[in-house]
Amino acid sequence: MLEGNNVDTLTSYKEHLKEMNLLSSALALLSWDQETYMPSRGIGARSQVTGRFTKKLFELSVAPVLGEYLDALAADGSLTLEERASVRDMAKEYHRQKAIPPALIEEHAIVQSQSQAAWVEARKQSDFSVFQPLLTKMVDYARRFADYYGYEEHPYDALLEGFEPGMTVKQLQMIIDPLRQQLVPFMKRLATEGTPPDTSVVEGFFDVDKQRHMARIALDLIGYDFAAGSLDDVAHPFTTAIAFDDVRVTNRYLENLLTSGLFGALHEGGHALYNQGMPENLYALRLSGGSSNGIHESQSRMIENLLGRDLPFWKHFQPILAGVFPQFQQISPDVLYRAVNLVAPSLIRVEADEVTYNLHIMLRAELEASLIAGEIQVADLPRHWNEAMERYLGITPPDDARGVLQDVHWSIGYFGYFPSYMLGNLYAAQMATKIRQDLPDLDERIAVGDIHALTEWVRTHVHRSGGVYQPDELMTRITGAPLDASHFVRYVEEKFSKIYGLS
C-alpha cells in the first residue's frame, strides 16, 4: 500500500506544481505585457491583478500540504532524476519562503516599491542622498533575510544561494582575486602597448526598422524558434519563458549604436535557446529556470560574445548586414570583427567590453558582501564605489548617476545577483574550451553560417537538462571539472592580444 500512497503523493505534488505553473505563467505574461504594450495608465489596474496573483502564488509555495508532499517524496527512492531535482529545488524554496515572517514580506514589498521610486529620482538628480534612506532600509531587510535563511560562514552566502546554488563568499573571493590580478594588468597593457581597433565603421545613423529586421535575421540564424516565441521592443531588454513553447525575446535599438541592437538580440536569443531547448516535463516540474542564474547567463554570453563577437561569425554575417545596411558592402569581416571588440575602461557596466566587464561585477560583489556583513555603511557607499572604480578600472565617476546609482538591482533588494553576470562569462569560456575539443572544425562551420553545430552542442549538454543539475555538478558533467576561471583569462588574453597586436 505504501507504494500506492507514494504514487498518489507524487500525483498530488505534480497537481500542486501545475497550479503554481498556471499562476506563474499568467504573471509572466502580465509582466511581459507591462514592459511591451500596456498603456501607461493601465498600471493601476495591472498592479492589482499582479498583486493578487503574486499573493496566491506565494500561498501555494508555502502551503502546508506542499511541505507534506515534499517530506514524503524526499524519502521516496523510486523518483526519477528529474523528479528528485524538482523536490530538491521546491523544498529549498519552500523553506526559504517559510523562514520569513509573512508580515515582513509584506513590509518589504511596500518599501521595495518606494525604494525603486527613490532610486529613479536619485538617478535623475544624480544625488545619492535621495536614495540613501531607502537603500539603508533595503540593506537592513537583506541582512534580516540572510539571518532568517541561515548560513554557515557569511551572511552574504544566504543571499547568493538564491541565485547561484552552492556559491559562497569564500569561493567567490577565490575566483575574484586571481582574476583581478590578471585582468587589471592585461587591461593596462592593452591600453599602453596595444593598438585599439577602429570603431568608426559601426558608428553613424542606423534606421531602427532596419535594425529590428537585422535582429530577426540574427535570431533566425541562431535557431530561435519564432513559432514558439516573439520579438518585441522594450526599454530594458529581457527574455521570459511564459510557458513551454512560449519563450519571448525583447530588445531595444539605438539609432546611433548598431551594436546595441544586434548584440542585445544575440544575448537575449542565447537565454531563449536555453528555455526553448528544455523538454516539457521540466516545465511541469518547475525546473525550467535552468541550473542557476550564472548558467543561464553563460548561454546568453556564449551566443553574444563567443559566437557574435568572433571572426567566423562576421565572415558569415557581413554580407547579411550589408544586405540590410548597404554602407557595409565594402567593409571586410575582419574590420567589423575588430570594430566590435574595443576594450576600454568605462563607467557603465552594461556598456563594458569582455575584458573589463567582470571588474565591474567584482566591485559590486565585494561592496555587497561588505554591506551585508555590516563592514561598511550605506552612507559611505559612493566613496567606496569611486575608490574601487579607480583601483580596478583607473577611472573615477564624475557623478553618482554614472557611479553608484547606475544599477536597479539594489533598489529592488537583489543583493547577491551581480556575481551571476561574472560567473556566466566564466562558465561560458570553460564550456567553450570543451566545445572546441569536441568540434575542431567549429570556426569553419560558423564562417559558412552553420551555427547548428554549436547550438546543438549546448542543447545536448546544457539546455536539455534545465535545472536538473546544480551549477558545479553540471560543469563537472560537461567539462570534467567545476568552475575554473583560467579558461576565461586564457580566452581574453589570446583574443585581445591578437586584436591589439601585442607580442
CB atoms within 10 A of CB 219: 23
CB 279 within 8 A of CB 463: no
> For Zn ion, which is the closer residue by CB, 243 or 249?
249
Q: How far is the CB of 361 from Zn ion (least distance, A)?
A: 12
Q: How far is the CB of 404 from Zn ion (least distance, A)?
A: 22
- Give me the phi and psi of 356, to 5 degrees please: -90, -15
Q: How far is the CB of 215 from Zn ion (least distance, A)?
A: 16
Nearest CA to 174 out of 362, 374, 438, 425 is that of: 362
Residues 6+ apart with CB under 8 A from 31: 50, 240
- Cβ-based burial of 106 (10 A; exposed 0-12, middle 13-18, buried ≥19): exposed
The DSSP element (H or E) to which 491 belongs, if any, is helix 486-499
> For Zn ion, which is the closer residue by CB, 404 or 423?
423
> For Zn ion, which is the closer residue by CB, 263 or 410?
263
CB 343 within 8 A of CB 312: no
The residue count for binding Zn ion (CB under 5 A) is: 2
Of 89-118, binders to Zn ion (CB under 5 A) are none
- Give me the phi and psi of 424, to 5 degrees please: -60, -45
Nearest CA to 11 out of 53, 58, 72 is that of: 72
Angle at 295 between CA 294 and CA 298, to 5 degrees: 90
The residue with its CB nearest to Zn ion is 300
Of 240-299, binders to Zn ion (CB under 5 A) are 297
Based on its alpha-carbon atoms, the radius of gyration of the chain, rounded to whole angstroms, reads 23
Q: How far is the CB of 300 from Zn ion (least distance, A)?
A: 4
The DSSP-derived string for 117-133 is: HHHHHHHHHT-HHHHHH
Contact flags string 291-320 toward Zn ion, x per CB under 5 A: ------x--x--------------------
> For Zn ion, which is the closer residue by CB, 130 or 474?
474
Bridge pairing between strands 231-233 and 246-251: parallel
Helices in 194-243 by DSSP H: which ranges?
208-221
> For Zn ion, which is the closer residue by CB, 83 or 353?
353
CA distance 268 to 174: 29
* Catalytic residue chosen out of the listed positions 83, 161, 268, 297: 268
Q: How far is the CB of 271 from Zn ion (least distance, A)?
A: 6
> For Zn ion, which is the closer residue by CB, 63 or 412?
412
Total number of residues shown for the chain: 503
Annotation marks residue 493 as catalytic: no
Residue 411 within binding range of Zn ion, rule CB under 5 A = no
Q: How far is the CB of 356 from Zn ion (least distance, A)?
A: 17
Question: Contact residues for Zn ion (CB under 5 A)?
Answer: 297, 300
Q: Which of the residues are catalytic? A: 268
